[in-house]
Structure 1
Amino acid sequence: MPRRTATMLASTLILIALLCAGVLIKVPYSEMSPGPTVNTLADHDGEPVIQIPDHKTYDTSGHLNMTTVRVTSADFNLNLVSAVYGWLAHDNVVVPHNTLYPDGQTEQESSQQNAEEFSQSQESAKVAALDELGIPVKSWVIVSTVVKGGAAQGKLHAGDVIKAVDGTKVTQPDDVAKLVTKHKPGERVTFTVVPVKEADAAEKEHRQPTRTENVTMTTKKAEDGRAIVGIQAGTDHTFPFKIDIKLADVGGPSAGLMFSLGIVDKLTATDLTGGKFVAGTGTIDDNGKVGPIGGIGMKTIGARRKGAQYFLTPKENCAEAAKGTPDGLTLVKVGTIDDALAALKDIRSGDTSALPTCGKS
């Protein structure tokens, strides 16, 4: 065999071996890419995303699109070839696996966490929207979770309404920890609660719960020496009318802002977008504050692909988003729902000279 042919054959075999190794070798990385984007004002899978059946609503136009990021699953590791391709691809991002799934989080645990965050974001979106419209929402402090092995296990239950601790009225979730930590570990603490079954029954019957009970337990010692009972307190709400958000196969808290704006648009005569295509992202709390999210670059790409002209961007994400803004997309900086509504007013008027865009001081 001629030397040149032998050399080419050997090189080909080495290349094939390297490619095979690249396919077989798994690396501890995951991949993020642009995910679906859904108009909160329209139908999805045959039904309206936002449904308000028992209150007057108004026609809307244009788009208020929530955006998503597609990620590889927790039990999937990229092979070397896929990782290198992802690093080179403009629209994809390859990140260490534990960035998306910290502490060995399983696919089931990740899905559960995302579902809980998505549910909470919907609640906060409703509260922020109704507060913006001056529609009162009843709120109270509840037991969100009970820690296994904690002092409260078997005594308090998720969904119990916390009225007082040691006779002191509770109005915010933080009040609970402050009152418990006034004790020393090993001391007794008394919770006044509305049991979850009574609270649920009262809500269904549109009445105030009437039955409370006192629950006493002995505090335990936390790692930092504080007295604890092993619960996490949260907030629950009763809305004056039904608001449903129907969107399957989506998780996490980042659609909160766009859900809130969609609710406001449907409940007001003003057409918020003026027919324009606006997309966006951002968490939202009960007070209407917009928070940062992950994967901002993927979301702007996905939005522009669908035709978005403007993208409502949490102010903390502006610097990152501005590094790779897709052509034809204007990034609008927002920190609150009021900021977003003011920006939409400019957008629908056609006068965008004063829009607080990312990159503008």
Structure 2
Amino acid sequence: MPRRTATMLASTLILIALLCAGVFFPVPYSEMSPGPTVNTLGEARGEPVLQISDRKTYPTTGHLNMTTVRVTGADYRMNLPEAVYGWIAHDSVVVPHETLYPDGKTEEQSTQENAEEFSQSQESAKVAALGQLGLPVATQVVVGSVQKDGPAEGTLHAGDVIKEVDGRPVRQPQDVSKLVTKHRPKQDVEFTIVTAKDAAAAEKAGREPVDTERVVLTTTASEEGGRAIVGIQAMVDHTFPFPIDIKLADVGGPSAGLMFSLGLVDKLTRGDLTDGKFIAGTGTIDDEGKVGPIGGITMKLVGARNAGARYFLTPADNCATAAADIPDGLTLIKVENLKSAVSSLEKLRAGETSGLPSCSAG
């Protein structure tokens, strides 16, 4: 066999071997792509996304769509050709695997964390929406979870309302830890509580709970730093003036908060917030209505435009990234908080588009 032919054959075989290696050997990357969008004013799986009882609601039109990102699973191992295709494709993004699953987090752990964040975002969306409308929301500090084999196990329970610690009123979750850590390990600390059962009965009856119990716990030392703890996680719980339920399955994370709040505001006020327009958006929201940044903004823009959106409510901190690659036909509206989002929609309804806060690249 001539030397040139042999060289070409060897090169071809090496190339084939490299291609096979690329196909069969995984690379440490994952993929993000546009996920489905859901109109918070409409239905999902045959039932309203936003369900409000015992309160007058008003007809709505148009769309206020929350947006999502689809990601590959924690156990999925991408090969080199898939990664290359993802890098050059416009409707997907390839990122390091640890970006989506840090510290070796499993898919089950990630799903659980996303579910918890989604649940919390719903609560904050309700609080922010009612605050925007000037409607009262009662707040209280409750036992969120009890550490197994900790001092509080069997004595305090999830849902118990913490009124006082050592006779001092508790108004924020951090008040509990501050008061407990004033003690040394193995010292007693007294909690004044309303049991979860009594609190639930009072809420159902539409009254404030009055029966309290005093519980004495002996602190123990934390594993980190040796400070005094009783083995509970305190959190804020809200009591709403009327029932509000958000029904949406198979969605996780906190990024739908803004769109849930806007949907509630639209349903609870006269007039039509969207004026029949197709508006999508994203953003976390806290109890005060502040809108925070989210991940996967470019994929959410693509998903929104593919669904038919013409306007996209964009968290201020995501504006620069979003403005660098805007899908044709989509207008970005910068949002700082719920109040500014409502104001922008009112301007849009009135045709005052020149006054809308916009996003700029860089």
> What TM-score do the two structures reach when normalised by structure 2?
0.93
Q: Mark the CA change 1:98 to 1:148 in structure 2 (over 3 Å): closer, same or farther.
A: farther
Counterpart residue number, 1:45 = 45
- Is structure 2 residue 196 aligned with structure 1 residue 196? yes
**Counterparts of 1:46 and 1:4 in 2: how far apart (Å)?**
69
Match of 2:330 in 1: 329
Find the counterpart in structure 1 of residue 341 from structure 2: 340
Q: Alignment identity in percent?
A: 70
Q: 278-287 or 184-193: which moved more?
A: 184-193
Where does residue 205 of structure 2 map in the other structure? 205
* Alignment CA distance shift 1:48-1:4 (3 Å): farther
2:146 is aligned to 146
Q: Does 1:309 align with 2:310?
A: yes
Deviation at 1:77, TM superposition (A): 2.1
Which residue matches 2:103?
103
- Write out aligned runs for 1:50-199 (5 A): 50-199=50-199
Amino acid at match of 1:199: A
Q: Distance in 1 between matches of 2:174 and 2:232?
A: 12
Q: Whole-Å Cα distance in 2 between the matches of residues 360 and 81 of structure 1?
A: 31
Give the conservation status (yes or no) of the 8 Å contact 2:170–2:176: yes
Q: How far does the alpha carbon of each residue in 1:288-307 deviate from its partner, in whole angstroms, 9 at most, with x for none?
A: 11111111111111111112
Give the letter for the 1:258 counterpart.
M
Q: Distance in 2 between matches of 1:264 and 1:286?
A: 14
Q: Please tell me the residue identity of whatever aligns with 1:234.
A: M
Residue ranges of structure 2 left out of the alignment (5+ in a row): none
Query: Displacement of 1:11 after TM fit?
Result: 4.4
Structure 1 CA distance, aligned partners of 2:211 and 2:23?
63
The number of residue pairs the alignment matches comes to 361
For residues 310-354 of structure 1, what are the alpha-carbon distances to aligned partners after superposition, in whole Å with 9 as ceiling and x for unaligned? 111111111222222222222211121001011111111111112
Question: Match of 1:158, SS?
Answer: coil
Q: 1:26 to 1:167 in 2, by over 3 A?
A: same
| Aligned 1:245-324 pairs, distance under 5 A | 245-324=246-325
The offset of 1:17, in angstroms, is 2.3
Partners of 1:65 and 1:287 in 2: how far apart?
22
- The residue matched to 1:123 in structure 2 has which SS? helix
**Counterpart amino acid of 1:245?**
I
Rounded Cα–Cα distance in structure 1 between residues aligned with 2:75 and 2:21 = 21
Residues 256-304 of structure 1, C-alpha deviations (whole Å, 9 max, x = no match)? 0100000000111121111121111111111111111111111111111
* Distance in 1, Cα, partners of 2:147 & 2:301: 39
Give the deviation of 1:225 after TM superposition: 4.4
User: 2:48 & 2:340 partners in 1: Cα distance?
Assistant: 26
Q: Which residue identity does 1:59 align to in structure 2? A: P
Could you say what the CA RMSD is over the residues aligned between the two structures, in angstroms? 2.0
| Aligned partners of 2:259 and 2:281 also within 8 Å | yes
Cα-to-partner distance string for 1:82-113 (whole Å, 9 max, x where unaligned): 22222222222222222212222222211111
Partners of 1:2 and 1:38 lie apart in 2 by 65
Change (3 A) 1:2 1:286: same
Letter in 1 for 2:271: T
Paired with 2:29 and 2:146, the residues of 1 have a C-alpha distance of 34
Farther off after superposition, 182-191 or 202-211: 202-211
Using a 3 Å threshold, how does the CA distance of structure 1 residues 5 and 55 change in structure 2: closer, same or farther? Answer: farther
- Distance in 1, Cα, partners of 2:152 & 2:172: 19
Aligned partner letter, 2:192: T
CA distance 1:31–1:295, shift in 2 (3 Å): same
Q: Report the AA paired with residue 159 of structure 1.
A: G
Instruction: Answer yes or no: is 1:239 the counterpart of 2:244.
Output: no
Q: How far apart are the structure 2 equivalents of 1:87 and 1:262?
A: 36
SS at match of 1:353: helix
Question: Which whole-Å CA distance do the structure 2 matches of 1:298 and 1:153 have between them?
Answer: 44
Aligned-residue offset at 1:80: 2.2
Per-residue displacement from partner, 1:194-220 (whole Å, max 9, x unpaired)? Answer: 122222233333333333222222223
Q: Distance in 1 between matches of 2:99 and 2:86?
A: 16
Q: Which amino acid aligns with 1:96?
A: P
| TM superposition shift of 1:147 | 2.7
Contact 2:323 2:361 in 1 (8 A): no
Aligned partner letter, 2:187: E
Comparing 222-231 and 244-253, the one that deviates more: 222-231
* 1:17 aligns to 2:17 (yes or no): yes
Give the secondary structure class of the aligned counterpart of 1:237: strand
> Aligned with 1:216: secondary structure?
strand
